[in-house]
Chains A and B, each alone.
Chain A
Amino acid sequence: MLSGIWQTTNQGTSSFSGSTTGSSSSGITDLIDGSNSKSITPGSGHVEYKSVGGLFNSQYSYDEKYILSAGIRAEASSSLPVKSRWGLFPTVGVAWVFGDEQFLKSAKFLSLGKIRVNWGQSSNSPSGSAPYVGSLGSIAKGYGENAAIEFKSIQADNLTFETVSQANIGIDVGMFDNRLNLSLDLYDKLTTNMLQKDVALPATTGFATVKYYNSGTMDNKGWEFSTDFQLLRTKDWKFNINFNISQNKNEILDIPENKQALNYTFGNKTYAYKLSEGEPLGSFYGYKYLGVYQNKTETYAIDANGKTIYDINGSPVIMKNNDAKVYAGDAKYADINHDGIINRYDIVYIGNSNPLFTGGFGFNVTYKNIGLVATFHGRAGQKVINAVRMNNEYMYGSDNQSTAVLRRWRHEGDDTEIPRALYGRGYNDLGSDRFLEDASFLRLKTLTLKYDLPKKISDKLHIKKLQIYITGYDLLTFTKYQGQDPEISLKFEQGLYPMYIDGAATPKPRRFAMGLNLNL
């Protein structure tokens, strides 16, 4: 089978505006310099965007067992410079319905067996009419008696689209008359020439920014497995269960040039943002928290061999958090390089915000007219920064604090992980693993109980079907996480560093819905 499509778009917007104040008469509404006109501001604009694209697909199926498909998409738009304007993006796929093969005919239990392999490319173009075009503009008033013109933007002739290449391999198996279905997919999605917007340029170019710049490579790899199984299928009873699990791992292969490898400013409540080639995005970097210094002896700096460090006068060197000397009761961070100072060189990897697994399961039971449907969703092995706790155990200013601060350190021997209160001083709240928590959870997302009016009654009422149901959302959560809600949405710090940070967003409410479905 062959198919093709060709599209062109042409969008144009024009605007004209003008305003005048202080006209000599309300009757004069034209943009003229009236006797008392204070200002006349005209403005106009015209923006055009054009694109063309075509798609050609072909599919060949032999014996309904061997399926081959291939397609190609061609795209061009006015947002890219001439040299990279046209992009060709192929897709190919093969599928083999091995379940229908002769040698498996004997395996009666197998109702479907299919292997799929796909590979394809797609693209993202920069937005805007012609963002690559460099321009010059006049300078108001000029220089002396001469008109003056300056460069306004730099021409980006090397700008190109961001390319996404995705490979996918999957297997679908249906057994026992499709009562048991299994599906497994492995994918690898590679994004190259990542588009970076408004990239700061070195001032030596004479420009502050370039509108778009291609830099960076990112890879997303993962797998997804899902199954559903019909346990019971009798006249009165129906019982289905389903289960799905997936894992995704993204990795920066090339750091975009405008992003710093390590982005950190020493200070309370700050974590380091770090990109390392070959490591997953969303890693947390910070200090290792070791509790509270109990007494003066504990504040002595220790060298790599476990010996106390002494200064030139023979007295022991006291640990410092950056420039602040520590005292008993202050937060104790691991001095990784044993220099007696806690600073950026003591920052280590403390965890990752990517879940090990994401998944869910559910069931669907029906007995005669009554049905019960449940779905569970969960994440496992995910770390988050509990910023709420970080703010509420800060004890730095006059803000309200949580009751946890009541067990803060006061005297030597207090067995607590919360440092002493220091008003407006010290570094007892540095970004450390103290606030990093495991936010694994399992949540009953929905639970529905439904009842269908028996056919006998509905027929009398001349309606096809009447269903009454009640659904509860987010009824139960199983988690060890201390914050309000472990289901935290992803936040991109500084546009690139994906982080799960709990900023006390309103937790998911427990909701109930009752409804009536009426089919006439």
Chain B
Amino acid sequence: MKFNKYIVSMMILALAVTSCQDSLTVLPENNQSTSQFWKTKEEVEAVLCGGYWKIRDAQENIMLWGEARGNGINFGTSTNTLSSAAQKLRQYDILATNDLAKWDKIYEVINSANAVIKFGPTVNDPSLNVSVMNSFISEAYFQRALAYFYLVRTWKDVPFVTEPYVNDAAPYTIAKNNGEDILRSCLIDLNNGLEASKTKFPESNLDNPINTKGRATKWAIYSLIADINLWLGNYDACIPACEAVVNSGRVGLIGGANWFTNFYPGNSNESIFELQYSYTLNQTNSFLSWFSATSPYYTISPYQQALYEAEPLDIRGLNSSYTASDSKIWKYIGIKTFTGSTDTRATTQNDQNWIIYRLADIYLMEAEAYAMKGDSASMINSLALVNKIRVRAGLQASTGSSDKLDMMKIILQERQREFFCEGKNWFDLVRIGNRSEEGFKDFFIDQEIQVASASTNGMIRAILEDKNSWYMPIHSDELKTNNLLVQNPYYANLGN
């Protein structure tokens, strides 16, 4: 053993092992770190309002999902990205790369609402009492339910995300859930939120109640409950929700010549929930370029115009909803019923609100629910409700019909005239087309081809026979990043 060759040397350095974990956590200074958030009431409310902001950010999608495949609007020669995507929808040339097949903006709403629902109650702030917290959560439930309602009506089955993605604890990929199950789950949330929800919000300007009309009140929640129940065919649940709004004492129908005040200045007595824009608060939109420019993106369709012309007394028709010479959609570009070009909104009046619910909608939903119930007492109720809307619009009361489908046609016409270009048309048609009653699907298809050219009639009829074609494909980018998703059936063999 040659130990003399065996050298041992040692270097010892003072090892400054302190609490390295903490000193190594460096947080960015230009944003608030997730781990440091959820401390005050103001933070919860700011995320909640971020949710409304996100819905408003998706407003162009919301409008086009509801109008692109309906029969109310026509497309102009000028386009932007989404209006050309919408034209593809109208032509039934729908690929998985269509920009309107993207649902990212809606899931951002959902993530924001999920965060309020999950982290709101963990906030330890003396100024945030339980009832305020619960009212915040009722608003978040509303945001989430509204978001899923748009998703389910547009895609049918979608992933149901109810936990916020703030970190990577949950897998990023998620499969689709049955759309009706999602809506039923949303209805439970909405009903749970009702008790704590607010009947009104404090306003700095009582003439322009932007908080009460811009955030989800009890009446907005009831409206959504009614709308979802009507979609699902739960007529007996839809009717009392409508009644709750009608009898709230907070809203009333605006009659006669004042109908236009729903759109200018907006936030009217009839309004329940609308996405707020405000020029003075620097929150403006592009409606003037969509609807008013020399060559607008969207104009009134001849079919829609004919609907108005069939009832010339309608105060909602010519010079209110549209102007005849240029087919423009006047409700978004005027300051009052059209009498001359001076009635056009100025460039600084580019803050038209986007109405999601107003009382007329509630009356017509209730009328539809009664009509679908179909017994003679219900038919009488239905007709009375429809006539309330007709009479306030300056029309003769309708004599109605004892036949479900005929009554439905009367109600749909009323909805088309009332909510022209308010993002409801296509969803109304799909809701009717989905009913199992005889003739409803054919009626839906007949409505759809009103705006199709003669040469494509046959093709569109054939496409719409397959109910799966009523829903959008999942965008190909989404399929690439989420391997649990399966393309919607109608588009499965399109490749990507």
Using a CB–CB distance below 8 Å, which chain A residues touch chain B? 1-6, 8, 45-52, 54, 61-64, 76-78, 82, 85, 129-130, 133-139, 141-159, 200-208, 210, 257-258, 260
Contacts and interface: CB of A to CB of B under 8 A. Distances in A.
B282 interface: yes
B107 A134 contact: no
Contacts of B20: 52, 76
B115 A143 contact: no
Contacts of B110: 206
Contact of B27 (A62, A130, A156): A130
A157 B282 CA distance: 37
Given A63-B2, A206-B110, A206-B165, A146 B46 contact: yes
Contact of A134 (B11, B30, B33, B283): B33
A3 B21 contact: no
A144 B274 CA distance: 11
27 contacts: A6-B14, A47-B28, A50-B26, A78-B25, A82-B25, A134-B166, A135-B28, A136-B32, A136-B34, A138-B46, A141-B281, A144-B276, A146-B45, A147-B49, A148-B50, A148-B52, A149-B32, A150-B112, A151-B108, A158-B169, A200-B480, A200-B481, A202-B159, A202-B485, A203-B477, A205-B107, A205-B161
Among A85, A142, A152, A210, chain B packs the most CB atoms within 10 A around the CB of A142
Contact of A50 (B11, B23, B161, B165): B23
A6 B16 contact: yes
B281 A145 contact: yes
B275 to A, nearest CB: 9
B9 interface: yes
Contacts of B26: 48-50, 78, 129-130
Top 4 A-B pairs, shortest CB-CB distance? A206-B111, A203-B104, A135-B31, A134-B34
Among A61, A150, A156, chain B packs the most CB atoms within 10 A around the CB of A150
Contacts of B88: none
B9 A133 contact: no
A217 to B, nearest CB: 18
Contact of B12 (A4, A77, A204, A257): A4
Given A2-B10, A50-B26, A158-B169, 16 more contacts: A6-B15, A48-B26, A130-B28, A133-B33, A134-B33, A136-B31, A136-B34, A144-B214, A151-B34, A151-B108, A152-B31, A202-B481, A206-B161, A206-B164, A206-B165, A207-B111
A155 B168 contact: yes
Contacts of B24: 50-52, 76-78, 85
Contacts of B80: none
Nearest to A131: B28
Contacts of A52: 20, 24
Given A76-B20, A77-B24, A144-B49, A204 B107 contact: yes
Contacts of A149: 32, 43, 46-47, 49-50
A143 B50 contact: yes
B102 to A, nearest CB: 7
A142 B49 contact: yes
Contacts of B33: 133-135
Question: Chain B, interface size: which category?
Answer: 35 or more
Given A142-B49, A146-B45, A200-B481, A157 B12 contact: no
A8 B17 CA distance: 10
A156 B49 contact: no
Contact of B169 (A133, A157, A201): A157
B13 interface: yes
B168 A156 contact: yes
B146 interface: no
B28 to A, nearest CB: 6
Contacts of A138: 46
B478 interface: yes
A129 B47 CA distance: 26
Contacts of B8: 1-2
A150 B25 contact: no
B28 A133 contact: yes
Contact of A64 (B5, B34, B164, B475): B5
B174 interface: yes
Among A50, A78, A142, A204, chain B packs the most CB atoms within 10 A around the CB of A204
A61 to B, nearest CB: 7
A207 B54 CA distance: 13
Nearest to B480: A260
Contacts of B401: none
Contacts of A210: 168, 172
B159 A204 contact: yes
B368 to A, nearest CB: 31
B278 interface: yes
Interface in B145-192: 159, 161, 164-169, 172-174
Contacts of B283: 141-144
Contacts of A258: 481
A271 to B, nearest CB: 18
Contacts of A64: 2, 5
B2 A154 contact: no
Given A76-B20, A149-B50, A143 B28 contact: no
Interface string B19-62: 01101111111111111010000110111011011101000000
Contacts of A155: 34-35, 166-168
Contact of B32 (A5, A85, A137, A154): A137
B161 A204 contact: yes
Contacts of B47: 136, 148-150
B306 interface: no
Interface in B379-415: none
